[in-house]
Chains A and B, each alone.
Chain A
């Protein structure tokens, strides 16, 4: 998020960051079309696991939330739920141009414009859609950032919680999930 601050971590935090950078679990939530490039990244051709990353089923045990492309408001509600269930330190990697400014869906009534208004983004991966090599390069970058203590999006979210909540409510109306039975 913010890159220019000086390193004021204590030694334990440095050690913690070092270890967490080497075992990253990314949450298995395919939010948009970029998710189609994740299976090739995970499976034998590109094999993400050699970087020390793997998919994780539940948000509570995951470190990285991938936002793979555009987010409709309906998905954003669930993404916020999921993000708030994750334990700190938690990181968000956003794919493609849609998360930056809406991309090709800039005038859509259903998808949001910029993601970092609602959730703190640590790293953007460019491209529509990003190729597996780019995705892996991005993960590599994320690992470096975590080691240096630069991936501080989650702290930013804690400190500016009110601002994020206000933006979420402004755009989404309410962040609540109802069932489909309409009873």
Chain B
């Protein structure tokens, strides 16, 4: 049998995002694979050097399209560390609320997007529509569905609208009813089982070799390796939650963990609303100077946040001027999306390639930047 060279993606319904994998296939078994990133490359790291510290707020959410709030949080944390700012108590709680709502939204979306590679489109229809109701809450909060620009250095942009927490709680109650249905539909479905059980394994040694973090790491290693626990930011040390883990990582395990994380996020949201003070400032002025042209003291800092796919980090360098000197972005899916594909995609079938990327949690815009 001859090996055939095949370009999978970027224009392909069975491809995960605007991404391409070039491969040699024998029959439908992948013999050799190379990732091809760069289709979404916008040169963010260069552009951010050319914008003011405040102007970058418009750029950073666009780095990872499905999960913008993590970017805002990382940037805000980094700038606050450089400028040595303590933000008000209420801002911490609101940030946690927003981050966990975003986590619920992205987990719902990725539960739905399992429909693409497996062909179970009912999952897509249900989960994406449910996520849309969450986006309505975000819209009420900040006026935008996708790119919120709500978490800013120094706190959050403004206080929660009136009655917002009640709506969030009502949404949580609704999710409590709905998620078991999704579990029945997705996690117990024979199609999903046939495709994901004992397929796309991720052994613990591969985790350490590649540097995979997030659900992939926890599903293989069996330890609570979550930045919210290991190196708590905001007030994650003041709320009570578990980090679901497993020791055998196939695609189904990782899907299961996603759903269990959903429940934990909802638990955090309820505690946050419970503990959040009703009054108080939500932001502090970051630095001196006019509103847009403030400067940040010189320094180099790395800030990291647990995104839905793992450690998301910015390395921020300031030389004390009005613009950042350099910002490097560590996309959470960088290890599995590049080296992971090169080394471990081979041996799978072609139709599992996009399932591989989906279940490993590869987000292409954050790889390309």
Give me the interface of A with B, judged by CB distance under 8 Å.
27-33, 35-37, 39-40, 43-45, 55, 57, 59, 70, 72, 74-75, 78, 82, 104-105, 107-111, 128-129, 131, 177, 179-181
Contact = CB atoms under 8 A, between A and B. Distances in A.
Contacts of A105: 42-43, 47
A29 B129 contact: no
A75 B129 contact: no
Interface of B: 5, 7, 10-13, 17-18, 20, 22, 32, 34-36, 38-43, 46-47, 50, 58-59, 62, 65-66, 109, 112-113, 124-126, 128-129, 131-132, 135, 145-147, 365, 368
Most buried by A among B34, B40, B129, B135: B40
A30 B47 contact: no
A31 B66 CA distance: 14
A104 B42 CA distance: 10
B146 A104 contact: no
Contacts of A129: 146-147
5 contacts: A36-B146, A74-B41, A75-B40, A105-B47, A107-B50
A109 B46 CA distance: 9
Contact of B13 (A44, A57, A75, A181): A57
B60 to A, nearest CB: 11
Nearest to B364: A30
A104 B17 CA distance: 21
B47 A107 contact: yes
Nearest to B55: A104
- Count chain A CB atoms within 10 A of each CB in B13, B32, B368 and give the residue with the most: B13
A110 B50 CA distance: 15
9 A-B pairs with the lowest CB-CB distances in the bound complex, closest first:
A180-B34, A180-B22, A29-B11, A57-B13, A33-B65, A44-B129, A43-B128, A75-B39, A45-B129
B66 A36 contact: yes
A178 to B, nearest CB: 9
B42 A179 contact: no
A129 B62 CA distance: 10
* Candidate in B11, B38, B126 with the most chain A CB atoms within 10 angstroms: B11
Contacts of B20: 180
Contacts of B46: 108-109
Given A37-B146, A44-B125, A180-B35, A108 B42 contact: yes
A181 B36 CA distance: 10
A82 B62 contact: no
Residue from A28, A45, A59 whose CB has the most chain B CB atoms within 10 Å: A45
A44 B128 CA distance: 8
Given A72-B42, A179-B22, A82 B11 contact: yes
Contact of A40 (B11, B18, B132): B132
B43 A78 contact: no
Contact of B11 (A43, A72, A74, A78): A78
Given A30-B17, A44-B126, A107-B47, A72 B39 contact: yes
